[in-house]
Chains A and B, each alone.
Chain A
Amino acid sequence: MKLLFEKSIENRRTHYLSACDVPDVELPIKRKTPLGLPQLSETDVTRHYSELESNTFGINDGFYPLGSCTMKYNPKINDKISGLPGFTDIHPLQPQSTVQGLFEALDTAGQYLSEITGMYAMSFQPAAGAHGELASLMMFKKYFEERGETDRVKVIVPDSAHGTNPATVHMCGMKIINLPSNADGCIDLDQLRAVVGPDTAGIMLTNPNTLGIFEEDILEITKIVHNAGGLCYYDGANLNAIAGIMRPGEMGFDCIHLNLHKTFSTPHGGGGPGSGAIGCKEFLYKYLPGPQIVKEGDSYSFKDYEGSIGQILAFYGNTLISLRALAFIMAYGKDGLPIMSKHAVLNANYMKHRLSERFEIFNKGLCMHEFVITMEREAKGSNFTAKDMAKAILDEGMMAPTMYFPLIVKEALMVEPTETEGKETLDRVIDTYISIYDKVMKENTLAGQFPKNTIIGRPDEVGAARNPIVRYSNPNNI
């Protein structure tokens, strides 16, 4: 389809403002290059975005099993409550006495999330999971700086971790210790004992881990790190398996981040905005980023703590997103959240069990809310790769699973059905996966040919990276 710029017609526009009601004043300097935005009517704009929308696969277009992404249904009430003018139309620098309702809502959300995760307090300043990771590691850094333990610069990250973990360590000026996983994909306790020491700042862990396996030795793991003087950080990407069932705080974690856009159903927005709320134990409270919302008597206010790592955004986080998470927790309540997680885990185990008839599954025992298929055998033997399988799935009107992650599993397809799918959908999906598998295994030449029914075929990614075209250029201006 055409780009907005290709639809532009000189002098076409829609007026949104009335004539200016004050005298005109001349600007002292002006830009010389014309502002090359498209010139369109509102009709053009609406048609354009309607077409773009139809070229986008949303959560309600079909099964969306992206492993580690928790693509669950996004309840409509969340949009409604976060769109109330009492939230959308308040200025971040208006007097704190005039935003008491917002503070109360965030404080409530903080209390619920602290109870769910076993933390002392939460901060909603981080804008995304990676941002929460960064804030958490900065808190570790600050904590050790204050204690004069500046030699603690090494952070242990398992090799199954998401790439943001090692990148975060680098941004905190610390050094990464890559910990190879054992054959089951879990932390090897002996290896862990061998790498901790007086230079250990901490460990970054996801539990269940990125393979959908619960680290059963978790209490021992956090103990080893604590005994060495380090701190334990919990990457909450996979909380959906254990919400209301176990608390990261009781596993020994000192600091956590939550992806509110995963477990707590705020939408992914095609890549963001998310919300990466972080929580910590009491001894780390004062290091939290930005100001904290505190309640004194009946009123709330922002309080800046000496020791805080400082601002990590200009204002206070993706507030309108964080509110949705509170609505979601209210909808499930104390008894509902654990059942939610159990359904997520049951759905994953059901799919894993039935798919294991054909596919090789990395997870040997029970999985948690997700599992990993490995197509290594098929890739080697039949030239049928994980990518081929994923692209064939797209042809069936479903989103493909996460491909090639985690990196420690070859030809990985990571499946996370979430709790918001019914058995009848899972059955249909399983049958589809198996039928694709059988068809391609019978006729290998098919493997590289998918997808055929999507709006474009496989794009030339090599060409895109070799000769980057990252903006439209008007051919008439060149």
Chain B
Amino acid sequence: MENPTNLKYSKDHEWLKEEGDKVTVGITYFAQDQLGSLVFVNLPEVGDEITKGEPFCDVESVKAVSDVYSPVSGIVSAINEDLLDNPEKINDDPYDAWFIQVEQITETEELLTAEQYEDFCKEEA
């Protein structure tokens, strides 16, 4: 699957969409492919403070639980509640299945372009 060029990517395999002072975060195609069929996602609550480089939620497959790391520091302003009932959407269309929106961002880690991220994934694989 193509990684959309309008998004930015972290080395922990999250994608980010920046709109004004708000950022939307999800996990990449590569990440969901590595995790396998997801059965549950444990999202933070609106208002939670999240920190760059630290886990902000976890995703479950049948045999594993994996933390999802935040590429930014800020306050969670919205969560995609649809994923709680339909975690398969993350596997079906990872770039539509956003996890959270973050505002009041104080810090952002170094991000990659789609092209840089593809190279990064090739090294990881």
Interface residues of A (CB under 8 A from B): 404, 461-462, 465-466
Asked if B40 CB lies within 8 Å of chain A CBs, one says yes
- Whether the pair A466, B87 counts as a contact (CB closer than 8 A) is yes
Question: What are the residues of chain A within 8 A of B61 when measuring CB–CB?
Answer: 462
Asked if B88 CB lies within 8 Å of chain A CBs, one says yes
- Whether the pair A466, B63 counts as a contact (CB closer than 8 A) is no
B61, chain A: closest CB distance, angstroms? 8
Indicate which residue in B40, B62, B87, B88 contacts A461 across the interface (CB closer than 8 Å): B62
Q: Which A-chain residue is minimally distant from B36 (CB atoms)?
A: A462
Q: Which A-chain residue is minimally distant from B61 (CB atoms)?
A: A462
- Whether the pair A462, B37 counts as a contact (CB closer than 8 A) is yes
- Whether the pair A404, B88 counts as a contact (CB closer than 8 A) is no
A461–B37 Cα distance when bound, in Å, is 10
A461–B60 Cα distance when bound, in Å, is 13
A466–B37 Cα distance when bound, in Å, is 9
B119, chain A: closest CB distance, angstroms? 23
What are 14 sample pairs from A and B whose C-beta atoms fall under 8 A apart?
A404-B63, A461-B62, A462-B37, A462-B39, A462-B61, A462-B62, A465-B39, A465-B40, A465-B60, A465-B62, A466-B39, A466-B40, A466-B87, A466-B88
A33–B68 Cα distance when bound, in Å, is 43
A404–B39 Cα distance when bound, in Å, is 20
A210–B88 Cα distance when bound, in Å, is 35
Please list the 10 inter-chain residue pairs (A to B) with the smallest Cβ-Cβ separation, ordered nearest first: A465-B39, A462-B37, A461-B62, A466-B39, A465-B62, A462-B62, A462-B39, A466-B88, A466-B87, A465-B40
A233–B62 Cα distance when bound, in Å, is 31
B78, chain A: closest CB distance, angstroms? 23
Question: What are the residues of chain B within 8 A of A461 when measuring CB–CB?
Answer: 62
A462, chain B: closest CB distance, angstroms? 4
Question: What are the residues of chain B within 8 A of A466 when measuring CB–CB?
Answer: 39-40, 87-88
Question: What are the residues of chain A within 8 A of B88 when measuring CB–CB?
Answer: 466
A218, chain B: closest CB distance, angstroms? 32
B112, chain A: closest CB distance, angstroms? 28
Question: What are the residues of chain A within 8 A of B62 when measuring CB–CB?
Answer: 461-462, 465
